């Protein structure tokens, strides 16, 4: 299952990155497969990457979703216990006077800062009345876990748009919100004076002088992929959130050493790792993050270039025996360049297998997929369709 994160788009002047890009291999796979469109959650629901990946792995997100913070914490290597409260965080840039809550967010990603190890290290000594852990995630992201008997009923400090002030966390219990707000303030004081940010300011780069928290979550009991399907799963990704989904459902998670969670990732290493994984695993999910980031950045041409780059590595998949392996090319959600955020637009699906009922679609894009034989399905159905093609499902009824 190849997941091109955020790939589908809405037309700009009648065109999308997929209609402009030269992608003979994706088109070729669409031609020999069956195609359609898919609502990863349901029509009209804007999916998160976490909820959509749960659905693609056959888990109803309304039942099993733990909150993004908990999933990303798992992906970043933090072990969670019942009652621990996890947030995902952005290193961000704020300007203004007074406390952190008087200041305005001017860049939610601090110029997409990458190397945050020293900043994370500096924040580990913050004094709080509860234990906590902080770890670096992908790119400008981090995760923060507060240890104790917490609930999910707390609000974000991230305003989610630039030009607004950092929000105060609110919770049912005042002592909970005080702990989180004190952490945010103390983190800002440390980051503002950190030597890395002083160097960034000298070089004309935005300071990573604030942490914005969102996506609070507490761990839930989730049955493993092996328990549910009797199959072994491997997730290949460099993105903490997706690795967290893999760990949440008990799958093996792997990141090639040269892989990243951005457009500079080592595509060849990821594809090669996926092919190798098929020798010992039943289901392999390969996640590619770049199209989503380029959509958030509103970079139409960047999306085109990445699709063409990705496509150039796909001939390796032709080495697979398609009488034994089923390939799925799809996305977790749409991130249109014009919007710059996730939308509920359905994604493209191409299923390639020797015995699949081929349709008349010959091009992999948003306009052609809707003509395909799969018609319109939901995310939780895609794995079942593939397993049925491989004769790995049981009959329902007599």
Tell me the per-residue pLDDT of 337-365, one tens digit each, with 9 for 90 and over: 999 999 999 999 999 999 999 999 999 99
All domains of the chain in start order, with CATH? 2-66+223-389 (3.40.720.10), 75-217 (no CATH)
DSSP symbol at 74: H
Q: Is the pLDDT of residue 272 over 90?
A: yes
Q: Is the pLDDT of residue 367 over 70?
A: yes
- Tokens 């004076």: give the residue: 193
Tell me the per-residue pLDDT of 81-93, one tens digit each, with 9 for 90 and over: 878 999 999 999 9
The C-alpha atoms of residue 131 and residue 80 are separated, in whole angstroms, by: 13
What percentage of residues in the chain have a pLDDT greater than 70?
Answer: 100
Q: Is the pLDDT of residue 152 over 70?
A: no
The C-alpha atoms of residue 277 and residue 173 are separated, in whole angstroms, by: 47
Closest-CA residue to 245 (of 119, 102, 61, 75): 75
Q: Is the pLDDT of residue 151 over 80?
A: no
Question: pTM, whole model, 2 decimals?
Answer: 0.82
With the C-alpha atoms ordered 250, 47, 340, 135, is the resulting torsion angle positive or negative? negative
Q: How wide is the angle at C-alpha 180 spanned by C-alphas 174 and 186, nearest 5°?
A: 125
The C-alpha atoms of residue 55 and residue 3 are separated, in whole angstroms, by: 12
The C-alpha atoms of residue 193 and residue 242 are separated, in whole angstroms, by: 33
Residues 330 and 45 sit within 8 Å (Cβ to Cβ):
no
Helices (H), strands (E): how many in the chain? 15, 13
The C-alpha atoms of residue 102 and residue 99 are separated, in whole angstroms, by: 5
């Amino acid at each position: 299952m190849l997941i091109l994160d955020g790939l589908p788009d809405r037309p700009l002047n009648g065109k999308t990155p997929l209609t402009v890009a030269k992608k003979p291999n994706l088109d070729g796979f669409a031609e020999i497969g069956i195609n359609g469109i898919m609502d990863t959650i349901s029509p009209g629901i804007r999916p998160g990457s976490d909820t959509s990946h749960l659905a693609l792995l056959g888990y109803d997100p309304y039942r099993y979703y733990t909150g993004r913070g908990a999933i990303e914490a798992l992906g970043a290597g933090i072990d969670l216990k019942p009652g621990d409260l996890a947030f995902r965080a952005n290193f961000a840039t704020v300007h203004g006077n007074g406390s952190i809550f008087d200041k305005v967010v001017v860049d939610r990603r601090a110029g997409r800062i990458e190397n945050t190890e020293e900043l994370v290290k500096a924040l580990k000594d913050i004094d709080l009345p509860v234990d906590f852990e902080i770890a670096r995630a992908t790119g400008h992201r981090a995760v923060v876990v507060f240890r104790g008997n917490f609930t999910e009923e707390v609000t974000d400090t991230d305003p989610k748009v630039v030009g607004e002030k950092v929000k105060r966390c609110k919770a049912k219990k005042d002592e909970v919100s005080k702990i989180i707000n004190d952490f945010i303030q103390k983190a800002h004081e440390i980051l503002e004076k950190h030597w890395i940010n002083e160097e960034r300011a000298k070089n004309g780069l935005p300071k990573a002088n604030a942490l914005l928290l969102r996506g609070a979550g507490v761990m839930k009991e989730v049955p493993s992929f092996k328990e549910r399907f009797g199959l072994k799963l491997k997730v290949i990704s460099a993105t903490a959130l997706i690795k967290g989904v893999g760990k949440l459902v008990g799958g093996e998670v792997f990141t090639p050493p040269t892989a990243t969670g951005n457009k500079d990732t080592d595509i060849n290493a990821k594809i090669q790792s996926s092919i190798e994984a098929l020798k010992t695993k039943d289901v392999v999910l390969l996640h590619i993050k770049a199209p989503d980031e380029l959509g958030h950045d509103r970079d139409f041409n960047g999306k085109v270039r990445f699709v063409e780059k990705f496509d150039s590595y796909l001939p390796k998949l032709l080495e697979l025996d398609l009488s034994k392996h089923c390939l799925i090319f799809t996305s977790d959600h749409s991130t249109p360049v014009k919007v710059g955020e996730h939308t509920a637009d359905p994604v493209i699906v191409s299923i390639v297998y020797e015995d699949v009922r081929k349709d008349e679609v010959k091009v992999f894009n948003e306009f052609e997929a809707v003509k395909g034989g799969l018609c319109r399905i939901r995310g939780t159905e895609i794995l079942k369709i593939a397993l049925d093609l491989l004769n790995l499902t049981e009959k329902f009824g007599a």
